[in-house]
């Protein structure tokens, strides 16, 4: 029985060790970035504030009920006509007033206000999606860059070991008189330079780790190999067509155009009168009761040209929004084209680096063999080794750049989101909070519902 228990315990411990040693994947990094991003938290709060603007606009459709109470002490001394005497009155007095005001006719002011708030919400939602893309792209870049710098450090370490061997070989050959002190000094200088480059690479790795922490919330552990890149389409035209339809910057600009058009309508309505209904009840401590019910109309006859200027300003705002939409499309399509071109450049660089590595490897092997026969100097060997090192580093950088470039294309298309990447985690639901506040709730039961929603979305 004890043997079985011991076996089970060892198996459990082994399983825990395996889990702890499990490598962190790119998907893990993306999920951590999404969950830990203060930038996303900030913009989600901005969106909730915009949701409340809808509630504020809806509230303007409802009556305003107010209550006022007054109490005080009064002392009065008045002269009595045709007499030297004075009449003194003093005492406590109080009154209370309950009033209600309802706007009956405003020629669309409130409707335009609600429309403006609603489209501001939609525009802010698209802005939030774009922030999500930035957060995820930063995580991809950080993940890939950590792996790249680790590989560069490994190359530099290998370079230091190889030059150390060359230095030892040069020293041995100098001891037997085959080479001069110059060869040894050259090897020593190259070793010092290699160690300096290694220190720089280690520093770059430390910087990459800090970037990773900033992007994901924690320092990287053991990173898994990069997964296959997501699909981005076959041609740049296809990618640009998707971007034109789905990029959040374009969608945000479209909502801002509609918002600007509603602002024109509001400015026009502001030049017209308003009709309201008012009612009040006033009590005093002496038993007086006054009730009032009436209609009121307000119309600005002259405001020094302010209303007309506001209308013209709204028209100019509409022109600006439409121009901004056009420019947004231009910028988005340009970004897609630039990102696509970068992929082609990195692909060509990888092919060239592969050819360079093959040639540099052959040259290094040949030079080192010739050096053992005395046909090449130590400097020749070190130069050949440096050429091979540079070629390998170039390929690593090009491969990293191309991998990140695919995600940059995806972001330029507007598709670098948790949903599109199918990361399988719950995401912020902008509709939940909006649905809870869009009718401007004021009761405690609705307040409790809002608290539940805030807990659900992680705030």
pLDDT of residue 4: 39
The model's pTM is 0.85
pLDDT of residue 303: 86
pLDDT of residue 379: 85
C-beta neighbour count of 443 within 10 angstroms: 8
Asked if residue 378 lies in contact with residue 170, where contact means CB atoms within 8 angstroms, the answer is: yes
pLDDT of residue 42: 94
241 Cβ neighbours under 8 A, 6+ residues apart: none
Asked if residue 362 lies in contact with residue 397, where contact means CB atoms within 8 angstroms, the answer is: no
424: left (phi over 0), alpha (psi -120 to 50) or beta: left
pLDDT of residue 454: 60
Of 362, 268, 355, which Cα lies nearest the Cα of 314?
A: 268
Q: For every one of its 459 residues, what pLDDT tens digit does the chain have, with 9 covering 90 and above?
A: 334 343 434 344 444 444 445 889 999 999 999 999 999 999 999 999 999 999 999 988 888 889 999 888 877 777 777 666 777 777 788 889 999 998 888 898 999 999 999 999 999 999 999 999 999 999 999 999 999 999 999 999 999 998 898 888 888 888 888 778 888 898 899 999 999 999 999 999 999 999 999 999 999 999 999 999 999 988 999 999 999 999 999 999 999 999 999 999 999 999 999 899 999 999 888 778 888 999 988 888 888 888 899 999 999 999 999 999 999 999 999 999 999 999 999 999 999 999 999 999 999 999 988 888 778 888 888 889 889 999 999 999 999 999 999 999 999 999 999 999 999 999 999 999 999 888 888 754 555 666 666 665 554
pLDDT of residue 381: 85
Q: Cα separation of 240 and 336, whole Å?
A: 6
pLDDT of residue 398: 95
DSSP line for 325-373: HHHHHHHHHHHHHHHHHHHHHHHHHHHHHHHHHHHHHHHHHHHHHHHHT
Instruction: Give the tokens for residue 222.
Output: 């053991």
pLDDT of residue 8: 39
Asked if residue 386 lies in contact with residue 368, where contact means CB atoms within 8 angstroms, the answer is: no
């Amino acid at each position: 029985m004890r043997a079985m228990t011991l076996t089970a315990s060892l198996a459990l411990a082994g399983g825990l060790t395996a889990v702890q040693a499990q490598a962190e994947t790119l998907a893990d990094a993306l999920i951590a970035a999404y969950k830990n991003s203060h930038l996303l938290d900030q913009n989600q709060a901005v969106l909730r504030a915009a949701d409340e603007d809808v509630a504020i606009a809806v509230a303007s459709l409802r009556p305003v009920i107010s209550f006022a109470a007054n109490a005080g002490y009064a002392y009065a001394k008045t002269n009595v006509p045709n007499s030297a005497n004075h009449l003194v009155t003093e005492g406590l007095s109080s009154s209370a007033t309950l009033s209600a005001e309802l706007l009956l006719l405003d020629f669309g002011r409130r409707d335009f206000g609600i429309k403006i708030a609603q489209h501001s919400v939609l525009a802010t939602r698209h802005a939030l999606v774009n922030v999500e893309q930035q957060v995820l792209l930063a995580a991809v870049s950080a993940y890939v860059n950590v792996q790249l710098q680790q590989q560069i450090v490994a190359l530099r370490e290998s370079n230091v070991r190889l030059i150390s061997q060359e230095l030892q070989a040069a020293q041995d050959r100098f001891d037997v008189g085959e080479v001069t002190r110059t060869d040894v000094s050259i090897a020593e200088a190259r070793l010092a330079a290699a160690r300096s480059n290694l220190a720089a690479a280690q520093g770059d790795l430390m910087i990459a780790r800090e970037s990773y922490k900033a992007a994901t919330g924690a320092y990287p552990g053991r990173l898994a190999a990069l997964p296959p890149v997501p699909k981005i389409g076959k041609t740049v035209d296809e990618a640009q067509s998707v971007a034109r339809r789905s990029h959040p910057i374009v969608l945000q600009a479209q909502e801002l155009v509609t918002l600007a058009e509603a602002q024109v309508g509001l400015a026009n309505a502001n030049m017209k009168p308003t009709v309201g209904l008012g009612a009040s009840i006033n009590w005093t401590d002496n038993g007086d009761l006054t009730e009032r019910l009436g209609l009121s109309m307000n119309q600005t006859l002259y405001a020094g040209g302010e209303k007309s200027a506001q209308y013209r300003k709204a028209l100019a705002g509409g022109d600006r929004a439409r121009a901004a939409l056009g420019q947004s499309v231009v910028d988005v399509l340009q970004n897609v084209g630039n990102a696509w071109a970068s992929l082609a450049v990195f692909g060509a660089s990888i092919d060239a680096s592969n050819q360079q590595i093959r040639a540099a490897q052959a040259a290094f092997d040949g030079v080192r063999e010739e050096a053992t026969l005395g046909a090449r100097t130590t400097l020749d060997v070190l130069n050949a080794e440096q050429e091979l090192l540079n070629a390998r580093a170039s390929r690593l950088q090009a491969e990293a750049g191309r991998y990140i470039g695919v995600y940059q294309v995806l972001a330029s298309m507007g598709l670098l989101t948790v949903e599109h990447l199918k990361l399988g985690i719950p995401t912020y639901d902008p509709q939940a909070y909006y649905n809870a506040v869009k009718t401007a709730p004021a009761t405690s039961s609705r307040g409790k519902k809002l608290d539940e929603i805030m807990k659900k979305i992680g705030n």
